Amino acid sequence: MKKISIFGIFIALYSGISVAGEVNFPEELLPLQVNEREIEHSFFKKVRKLELPAGVHRIKVKYSDLFELDYDEHEVVNSTPFWVEVTIEDRDYNVRFKPISDVEQARDFAKSPKIWLQPQQGDKVSAKQVKAQTAAAPMPVVSEPVITTVKANSQNEGHVEQAAPNAGKPDAVSMLEFWWQQATPEQRIAFLTSIDAKH
């Protein structure tokens, strides 16, 4: 009997502590800032998960994807950073966008990005526009029951980095990022070991 009441107290305490939601970003979308806090990324490690307390948050996001145009010709398509406003509840979310199959669709998306949150349990939540975050402006807090919204900013026009005039010579950094994403963990370790051995 004593074990049952201790277990019941533990469950009651645990359910009160869990007030955060996890937001998971796909490879193509990079979170840059949450409210006034910038997110630090390294060349080899990008932040793809954010744990946020329940409430309204503004997140600065950038779209970037590499497309193989020809055997030795690649193009990186980037959007300008844009802000999304999300209302987080106590659940996990995946950031989603319309599937992109070619470079033309990517260019269109970069000009006008539209994303939404998909709870791991539940229906898709629609997206609406929002103005860019300003450092001095306090963030409005809206309490809504179980509704999660993402609003994309189309005020900032996205831009697309075109392929270099020398199409036969792709950008080295883009190629390194591309092949790093393709590598297995063992290949990454072997590569880093070979670099350390040379220095």
Q: pLDDT digit string (tens) for 164-182?
A: 444 455 677 777 777 888 8
List the Cα angle 93/120/46 in 5-degree steps: 40
* Residue of higher predicted confidence among 172 and 23: 23
Mean pLDDT of the chain: 74
Reply yes or no on whether the pLDDT at 32 is more than 80. yes
Residues 6+ apart with CB under 8 A from 56: 85, 86, 87, 88, 139, 140, 141, 142
Reply yes or no on whether the pLDDT at 33 is more than 50. yes
Question: Where does the pLDDT of residue 4 fall: very low under 50, low under 70, confident under 90, or very high at 90 and above?
Answer: low
Collapsing DSSP to helix, strand or coil, 51 comes out as strand
Q: What is the pLDDT of residues 58-99, one digit of tens each?
A: 899 999 999 988 888 889 999 999 998 888 888 888 999 999
Query: Can you give the pTM of this predicted structure?
Result: 0.56
CA distance 153 to 122: 25
Reply yes or no on whether the pLDDT at 17 is more than 60. no
CA distance 135 to 9: 43
Reply yes or no on whether the pLDDT at 124 is more than 80. no
Collapsing DSSP to helix, strand or coil, 11 comes out as helix
CA distance 88 to 148: 6
Closest CA to 152 of 60, 57, 22: 60
pLDDT value at residue 104: 94
Question: Where does the pLDDT of residue 136 fall: very low under 50, low under 70, confident under 90, or very high at 90 and above?
Answer: very low
* Pairing between β-strand 115-119 and β-strand 37-38 as defined by DSSP bridges: unpaired
CA distance 40 to 30: 11
